[in-house]
Amino acid sequence: MNLPGSQPARQQPTSGVAAAAAGSAAAAPAGSPEAAQATEQVGGQSGGRSLDPHLRRYAQRAAGMRASEVRALFAVASRPEVVSLAGGMPNLAALPLDTLATDVAELVATEGQSVLQYGSAHGLPALREQICDVMALEGISAHADDVVVTVGSQMALDMVTRVFCDPGDVVLAEAPSYVGALSTFSAYQAEVVHVTMDDEGLQPEALRQALDTLAGQGRRVKFLYTIPNFHNPGGVTLAVRRRAEILDICARHGVLVIEDNPYGLLGFSDQTYPALRSMEADNVVYLGSFSKTFASGLRVGWALAPHAVREKLVLATESATLCPPAFNQAIVSRYLARYDWQGQIKQFRAAYRERRDAMLAALDQHLPPGCSWTKPDGGFYVWLTVPEGLDTKAMLPRAVTQRVAYVPGTAFYAAGFGSRQMRLSYCYPTPERIREGVRRLASALEAEQELLHTFGARSAGGGRPEVAGGQSPSPDTA
Amino acid sequence: MTDRFVAVLSGGLSHEREVSVRSGRRLSAALRSAGLTVAEWDADGGLLPRLREERPDAVVVALHGGEGENGSIQSVLEMLGVPFVGTDPRACRRAWDKPTAKAELDRVGLATPDWVALPHSTFRELGAQAVLDALVERLGLPLMLKPDQGGSALGAQVVRDATELPAAMVGCLAYADTVLAERFVEGVEVAVAVVEGPDGPRALPAVEIVPESGIYDYDARYTAGLTTYHAPARLNEGTATAVGELAVAAHRLLGLRDVSRTDAIVAPDGRVYFLEVNVSPGLTETSLLPMAVEAAGHSLGQVYAGLVERAVSRAADR
């Protein structure tokens, strides 16, 4: 059985960028259209005032960067009256802030001259050694030279895409996939083709078919972007027995694997899984992060790459930021050296497990028949499928009125899918708030179902296709 | 006047929170540059203690949607005896409810597109298809669907084909329980701000709106560059006067105070149709009222500083 909301690889790969660009010019399904005819009537726009004098200068990749009705609704989600099941903010409550404060003060006092100075684009050598120790927990044997420190793994993803993708190149990603990755791919004008997942993660057969189809079309596929553990937003994990097969398929088709693993150490039964990179060193770029295991605000992540790729990433980093912040790297390095960081991760796991349990129990208790959802063994997210006919994006205003927020499923696809899905996050609110949030969500779902029953129709979903990012909350949304 | 201390209220919990936050910031900066001392407050549980504690000379409501425009916040301010810029609670309610405002104008013979307002329950109880059929018979196509309350075009849709209607109703009713269906009037969309001074309410130059996509939806409103504005609007003198008169008439008729913005359509035959009026007009970088103020040769800070003085002296007269 397919993961709810999964879709087969498309026969006609569609670009999020192209779709959005077309939408801005053509689509006219929604909005306040009194003005629609005014344009024709008035004719040209000469002499008028555009509020953006730079409009004609933007690169094509900026075409999708615009205000969004859905994104605006998340502004309300940040208020305490609203239970936000929309954000992805890690819960930092368990961090030992007092002693960290002392340590950071000491760092400035004793090493201020170096840690407040530029560093190398490659990253702090001591930290790169420590990162290898962290990755060893998932079976990776790596040399510190092959680690490139980045401003969060998001930047690593950006650098990898920059180095590999020309406009029009194809990137494979799970269906659904991480919204931040989709928006990076769209920024580089790569085209995303989604590959089906089920309860055991990416389906090897679907991957094979997608690659064959694309080869038949003469498309150039650059890499497979995959989140094997505790998927965002899917909540599922790639079965260990599938891992070698996925690697083999990619190797045979000459496609690189980008393994994004921010949640791998957050398994609720203290379990870890062998990283794809632990099975194959030459054809995998591994992305890691301290955002979920220590502190997201420090923005320290990394890429582990084959040496030739690593050289390119270092140069790309240098042109993007000169170097990752030396100070933040030094804080992470000191933390790893002086604290029981593995014990801290255990505490995080326990906190997230409790929240996951609260959410799953509340979903069981409150949701109307016809809903189904994934049951994550780790990470931050549940992927919920609502009854046929409901449209999660169209329903969001109603949910916000009921004081609960989620991310509509369409955010996690390059275009066109996910209208029956939503992502629910349990990482930040307390278990009690999660229960209340699910209760409110259930009542919004019931009201929407009643509406649907009245009109016997699904909602149009409203508006033009949006570039990924337009429908998801900003990173500081709880 | 320069030592006034005012509180700008923005944010709130409506669907338009983000717009309101931006309006609040812009207005606060404008008032500061006009020499006033400004505090920016959200409308939350801390508001009443803050009002009692810090006692601003006046409050300016930059909340959009819900509480900020339906008279709720204004009622609270009135109960506390805090002077505020803008319309009193009862008139807010009349203007906020679009069908009510349209009926008031219609009653005195001012043109507004023919309309029907219906709650979800009517469709549920009488059968949706039969009611929708009647709706199309009466208003024709295309027609405009809007939530009966709310702004920023949220939930608003144009329906060109009867088969789109059920889905459009579902989308619209996610924002409110009652839908306002209007006959779609083709023409030039304009917004006319009205500001009160010593000699009563006066219309500022109309702003003409030309969205690139043809649709003045949320994106077109708040993404700079997606819409071209003409301030003053490219109307002949007679029509320009007529839209100004309509806006002032709406302001007076509905009992609005200090400032309002009327949205209207100028049909090809020159007839001007009232669409709706806003008691808390948007004040963001892409909003219409600041453009009108600028086109009139004023600054936003001066205009609102003047309105603050009006609010203060109104309270003193009481």
pLDDT of amino acid A63: 80
For B178-222, write each residue's pLDDT tens digit: 999 999 999 999 999 999 999 999 999 999 999 988 888 888 888
Q: How far apart are CA A230 and CA A228, in angstroms?
A: 7
Q: Domain of A377: which CATH number?
A: 3.90.1150.10
Domain of A30? 20-64
Is residue A15 scored above 60 in pLDDT?
no
Does any CB of chain B come closer than 8 Å to the CB of residue A456?
Answer: yes
Please give the pLDDT value at position A3: 53
Residue A4 inside a domain? The answer is: no
Q: Spell out which residues of chain A touch residue B131, defining contact as CB-CB under 8 Å.
A: none
Nearest CA in chain B to A42: B188
**Predicted model pTM:** 0.88
| Residue A3 maps to a domain | no
Residue pair A280/A236 in contact (Cβ under 8 Å)? The answer is: no
Instruction: Residue A146: give its domain's CATH number.
Output: 3.40.640.10
Choose one of A283, A312, A340: the last residue of a domain: A340
- Average of per-residue pLDDT across A208-230: 97
With CB atoms and an 8 Å threshold, state whether A457 touches B231. no
User: Is B275–A30 a contact, with Cβ atoms under 8 angstroms apart?
Assistant: no
Report residue A64's pLDDT band, with 50, 70 and 90 as the boundaries: confident
Q: How many C-beta atoms lie closer than 10 Å to residue B2's C-beta?
A: 8
Which parts of chain B register pLDDT below 50? 1
Least Cα distance to A25 among B212, B218, B157 occurs for B212
Task: Copy the structure tokens of residue A402.
Answer: 């009921």
Are residues A184 and A173 part of one domain? yes
- Indicate the pLDDT class of residue A398, thresholds 50, 70 and 90: very high
d(CA B316, CA B1): 15
3-state secondary structure at position A438: helix
**Residue A9 belongs to a domain:** no
> pLDDT of A267-317, one tens digit each?
999 999 999 999 999 999 999 999 999 999 999 999 999 999 999 999 999
Residue A205 has pLDDT above 90, yes or no: yes
Residue pLDDT, tens place only, A73-121: 888 888 889 999 998 899 998 899 999 999 999 999 999 999 999 999 9
Domain shared by A225 and A254, yes or no? yes
Alpha helices (H) along A339-430? 341-366, 392-401
- With an 8 Å Cβ cutoff, are A39 and B229 in contact? no
pLDDT band at A478 (very low <50, low <70, confident <90, very high): low
Q: Residue A315: name the closest of A188, A167, A127, A148 by CA.
A: A148
Cα A129 to chain center, whole Å? Answer: 27
**Count of domains for chain A:** 3
pLDDT at A7: 43
In a domain, A418, yes or no: yes
What's the pLDDT at B2?
A: 56
A437 in the same domain as A358? yes
**What's the pLDDT score for residue A48?**
83
Q: What is the dihedral of CA B178, B181, B187, B189, to 10 degrees?
A: 0
Average pLDDT of every residue of chain A: 88
- Indicate if the pLDDT at residue A30 is higher than 80: no
Q: Same structural domain for residues A121 and A267?
A: yes
Is there a single domain that holds both residue A115 and residue A216? yes
Cα distance between residue B213 and residue A428, in whole Å: 39
Confidence of residue A474 (pLDDT cuts 50, 70, 90): confident
Contact (CB, 8 A) for A439 and A431: no
pLDDT above 90: residue A67: no
Cα–Cα distance, A220 to A222 (Å, whole number): 6
Cross-chain CB nearest to A36 (options B155, B158, B166): B158
Contact A451 B170 (CB under 8 A): yes
Claim to verify: residue A304 and residue A220 sit in the same structural domain: yes
> What local confidence, expressed as pLDDT, does residue A416 receive?
78
CA gyration radius for chain A?
23
pLDDT of A19 reads 33
Query: What pLDDT was estimated at residue B174?
Result: 92
Query: What residues in B contact A45, CB-CB < 8 Å?
Result: 210, 228
Q: Which residues contact B275 (CB under 8 A, 6 or more apart)?
A: A34, B112, B113, B182, B262, B263, B264, B265
For residue A458, is pLDDT > 70? no
Residue B68 token pair: 């900020």
The predicted pLDDT at position A390 comes to 93
A477: in domain: no
Radius of gyration of chain B (CA): 19
Answer yes or no: do A268 and A168 share one domain: yes
Number of Cβ within 10 Å of residue A56's Cβ equals: 8
Mean of per-residue pLDDT scores for chain B: 94
The answer to whether residue A355 scores a pLDDT higher than 50 is yes
> So what's the pLDDT on residue B154?
85
For residues A28 and B213, is the Cβ–Cβ distance under 8 A? Answer: yes
* Within a domain: A370: yes
Regarding whether A202 and A151 lie in a shared domain, the answer is yes
Pair (A328, A375) in one structural domain: no
- Asked if residue B263 belongs to a known ligand binding site, the reply is yes
pLDDT, position B137: 96
Residues in B touching A453 (Cβ below 8 Å): 124
Chain A positions in Cβ-Cβ contact with residue B128 (cut-off 8 Å): 454-456
Which of A27, A35, A48 is closest, CB to CB, to B189? Answer: A35
Q: Tell whether A409 is covered by a domain.
A: yes
In whole angstroms, what is the distance from residue B184 CA to residue B197 CA? Answer: 35
Spatial distance between the Cα atoms of A334 and A351, rounded to a whole number of angstroms: 24
Residues A363 and A260 in one domain: no
The phi and psi torsions of B9 (rounded to 5 degrees) equal -95, 125
pLDDT at site A113: 97
Sheet of B37-41, strand order: B37-41, B5-9, B58-61, B84-85
- A32 close to B (CB below 8 A): yes
Taking only the tens place, the pLDDT of each residue in A163-187 is 999 999 999 999 999 999 999 999 9
CA distances from A169 to A208, A223, A251, A413 (A): 18, 9, 18, 17
A291 inside domain: yes
- Say whether both A124 and A196 belong to one domain: yes
Residues A349 and A430 in one domain: yes
ipTM for this prediction: 0.88
Domain boundary among A340, A357, A375: A340
pLDDT in tens, A246-268: 999 999 999 999 999 999 999 99
> Quick check: A9 pLDDT over 70?
no
Q: For A4-18, A368-382, B48-62, B220-234, which range has the lowest pLDDT when averaged over its residues? A: A4-18
Q: Which chain A residue lies closest to B265 (C-alpha atoms)?
A: A34
With pLDDT > 90 as the criterion, what percentage of chain A qualifies? 76
Q: Is the pLDDT reported for residue A27 higher than 60?
A: no
